Amino acid sequence: MSISGAAPSPPTCPVCLDPAPRPFMAVDGREYWRCEACEATFLAPAQRPAPADERAEYLLHANDPQDAGYRRFLFRLAEPLLARLAPACEGLDYGCGPGPALAAMLREAGHDVALYDPFFAPDAAVLERRYDFITCTEAAEHFHDPAGEFDRFDRMLRPGGWLALMTCFQTEDARFARWHYRRDPTHVVFYRAATFERIARRLGWQCEIPCKDVVLMRKPSPPRS
């Protein structure tokens, strides 16, 4: 159903910082906004979950690093990323969760992978380093400040480095209310391919979408003199 009643004060889009998103939908007591500039849909900032509630929800997820089905799911991102990496790169699994299966897969392929997660691997020192690649799987939909997170990625990536991201792209508007991804209470922002293309343009990155729900962005190397 659409947001009704007195017009709420519009928040700034947390993805592209556009100042004029529009009310999109209210469902299950939650209000969502749509940014016409980048096509992101996001939960009203005042309704974002508290950290303790987020952590409790994450602990319900069964992400065993040795689970073959989970590894097949992550291989959709790992395969195109590995095809683009030189041997023995240094990477960061950002938002790795309690079971960092992707990091294990990339280490098995010969890469050095550090871990960061605000709840399960909160070592802020890894955020001060620079990397050849950063992976971010099933995490971007949780970002309360996506613009700030992507700026952080830009600072942490070396020139020529890759950001490999996986998140479920938005469904059709008519299905949004019933969409399983929306019903997760920790999912507060939803992206389309056009959203990531807009992010890449803002940062001066290249953007590829090798398959549905997987995005590869590259920070350009400086031109040779």
pLDDT > 50? residue 75: yes
pLDDT score, position 225? 58
pLDDT band at residue 7 using 50, 70 and 90 as cut-offs: low
Question: What single letter denotes the amino acid at residue 122?
Answer: P
pLDDT > 60? residue 108: yes
Share of the chain above pLDDT 70, in %: 95
Give the chain's mean pLDDT. Answer: 93
Assign domain 49-218 to a CATH class.
alpha beta
pLDDT band at residue 165 using 50, 70 and 90 as cut-offs: very high
pLDDT > 90? residue 222: no
pLDDT band at residue 8 using 50, 70 and 90 as cut-offs: low
- Encode pLDDT of 128-161 as tens digits: 999 999 999 999 999 999 999 999 999 999 999 9
Average pLDDT of the segment spanning 198-214:
97
pLDDT score, position 67? 82
**Every domain of the chain and the residues it spans:** 49-218
pTM of the model: 0.93
Question: What single letter denotes the amino acid at residue 192?
Answer: R
- Encode pLDDT of 20-71 as tens digits: 999 999 999 999 999 999 999 999 999 999 999 999 988 887 677 778 888 9
pLDDT > 90? residue 1: no
Share of the chain above pLDDT 90, in %: 85
